[in-house]
């Protein structure tokens, strides 16, 4: 449980700093800036895809393929790939904002900042992933705290002092760039450019597929829902803000499970007990954050209650799904589990296109229901055979 909490803490710091930052920027500079969080939310899934292959997949190659430099090679190729992907989005940022049914004049500057922030956090996650697989969790904690504290202080203090959006993002982006360069110099040992991308995908295909599907869901789902007006945009942004950190933290369950599966140390019952404890803490934090933030943003109570209640239900079901997925991926068939994930998220994508502002959360619950049934049946079959 201690190791799970350490990884959770890193994710907590990395996730909560942007959330608090958008809250404060909305107060200091422009109250519309809180909606930037939802505007660029789908792009976090791109970070998930990159880390899935060049972070987790590359680190598993150390044990599966006996490639001792694959973690460093993964960081190198991950950065190169990130530059092309995020660079393309930056160049087309106006089209992206228009596609998301939002005002380009209001959100342009901080949309650019948010994209750059996700890029720098992608590099950070690649480094932290390497440290997790080397059992250097304390070092990872220190790096996560340092990076995010400096990022937060720079952003908010500059905003308070200058009251200028452009100057604020230029200074903050420069500081994050310097931090990432220092971290790369100190944490990369040797790059020999040898990396089996196919195996990197194979060993973590489920996580990559989930991130890809999430990207499609949120990109089109949010664009669809935002067309219903500001009332729904505020409610969606609010429910995303008070649950996003918690969903990010659940990645710790997957990270610890995959580390133990790669090292042949996995104990399903122990991991399940720890996961249930963590998810219960996360549900309580969702309720607390909702109570604190509601008087500030005052979303429609009926609309936001539907979103929050369904998120909590999903949290309650998740521990009985996630561990089975990754266990079966490692021990049974990566192809079958990836196919299952694709089916589940195709269901979710299709629902996200339906003509309702609740399309994303309804799709989420449909996907969860399918995965719950499939993984339970598949796990029972595996137990009987083995």
Q: What is the 3-state secondary structure (H, E, C) of the chain?
A: CHHHHHHHHHHHHHHHHHHHHHHHHHHHCCHHHHHHHHHCHHHHHHHHHHHHHHHHHHHHHHHHCCCCCHHHHHHHHHHHHHHHHHHHHHHCHHHHHHHCCCCHHHHHHHHHHHHHHHHHHHHHHHHHHHHHHCCCHHHHHHHHHHHHHHHHHHHHHHHHHHCCHHHHHHHHHHHHHHHHHHHHHHHCCCCCCCCCHHHHHHHCHHHHHHHHHHHHHHHHHHHHHHCCCHHHHHHHHHHHHHHHHHHHHCHHHHHHHHHHHHCCCCCHHHHHHHHHHHHHHHHHHHHHHHHHHHHHHCCCHHHHHHHHHHHHHHHHHCHHHHHHHHHHHHHCCHHHHHHHHHHHHHHHHHHHCCCCCCHHHHHHHHHHHHHHHHHHHHHHHHHHHC
Q: What does the alpha-carbon distance between residue 236 and residue 303 come to, in Å, rounded to a whole number?
A: 9
Q: What integer pLDDT is reported at residue 25 of this predicted model?
A: 82
Residue 3 confidence class, pLDDT cut points 50, 70, 90: low
- What torsion do the CA atoms of 190, 191, 196, 200 make, to the nearest 10 degrees? 70
pLDDT at 171 over 90: yes
| Greatest mean pLDDT among 80-89, 217-226, 350-359 | 80-89
Contact assessment for residue 158 and residue 30, using Cβ atoms and an 8 Å cutoff: no
| Greatest mean pLDDT among 109-113, 209-213, 243-247 | 109-113
Give the domain ranges of the chain. Answer: 2-385
Q: What integer pLDDT is reported at residue 364 of this predicted model?
A: 85
Q: What is the pLDDT of residues 229-287, one digit of tens each?
A: 778 878 888 888 888 878 878 878 877 787 777 777 777 778 888 888 888 888 998 89
What average pLDDT score do residues 103-119 get?
87
Centroid of chain to Cα 322: 15
By percentage, how much of the chain surpasses pLDDT 90? Answer: 18
Written as six digits, the tokens of 194 are: 């040898």
Residue 122 confidence class, pLDDT cut points 50, 70, 90: very high
pTM for the whole thing? Answer: 0.74
pLDDT at 6 over 70: no
């Amino acid at each position: 449980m201690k190791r799970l909490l350490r990884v959770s803490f890193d994710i907590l710091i990395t996730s909560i700093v942007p959330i608090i930052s958008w809250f404060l920027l909305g107060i200091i500079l422009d109250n519309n800036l809180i909606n930037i969080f939802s505007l660029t939310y789908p792009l976090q899934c791109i970070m998930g895809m990159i880390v899935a292959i060049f972070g987790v997949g590359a680190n598993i190659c150390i044990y599966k393929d006996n490639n001792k430099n694959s973690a460093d090679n993964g960081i190198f190729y991950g950065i190169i790939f990130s530059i092309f992907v995020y660079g393309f989005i930056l160049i087309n940022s106006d089209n992206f904002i228009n596609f998301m049914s939002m005002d380009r004049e209001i959100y342009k500057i901080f949309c650019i900042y948010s994209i750059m922030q996700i890029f720098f956090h992608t590099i950070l996650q690649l480094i932290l992933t390497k440290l997790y697989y080397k059992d250097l969790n304390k070092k990872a904690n220190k790096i996560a705290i340092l990076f995010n504290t400096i990022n937060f202080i720079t952003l908010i203090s500059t905003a308070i002092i200058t009251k200028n959006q452009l100057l604020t993002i230029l200074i903050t982006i420069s500081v994050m760039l310097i931090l990432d360069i220092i971290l790369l110099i100190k944490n990369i040992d040797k790059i020999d450019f040898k990396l089996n991308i196919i195996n990197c995908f194979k060993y973590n295909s489920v996580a990559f597929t989930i991130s890809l599907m999430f990207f499609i869901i949120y990109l089109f789902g949010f664009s669809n829902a935002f067309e219903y007006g500001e009332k729904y945009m505020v409610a969606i942004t609010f429910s995303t803000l008070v649950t996003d950190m918690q969903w990010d933290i659940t990645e710790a369950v997957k990270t610890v499970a995959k580390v133990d599966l790669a090292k042949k140390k996995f104990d399903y019952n122990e991991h399940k007990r720890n996961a249930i404890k963590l998810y219960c803490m996360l549900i309580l934090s969702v309720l607390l954050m909702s109570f604190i933030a509601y008087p500030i943003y005052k979303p429609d109570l009926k609309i936001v209650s539907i979103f929050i209640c369904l998120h909590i239900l999903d949290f309650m079901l998740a521990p009985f799904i996630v561990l089975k997925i990754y266990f079966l991926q490692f021990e049974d068939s990566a192809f079958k589990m990836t196919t299952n994930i694709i089916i589940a998220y195709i269901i979710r994508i299709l629902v996200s296109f339906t003509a309702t502002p609740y399309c994303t959360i309804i799709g989420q619950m449909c996907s969860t229901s399918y995965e719950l049934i499939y993984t339970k049946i598949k796990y029972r079959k595996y137990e009987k055979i083995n």
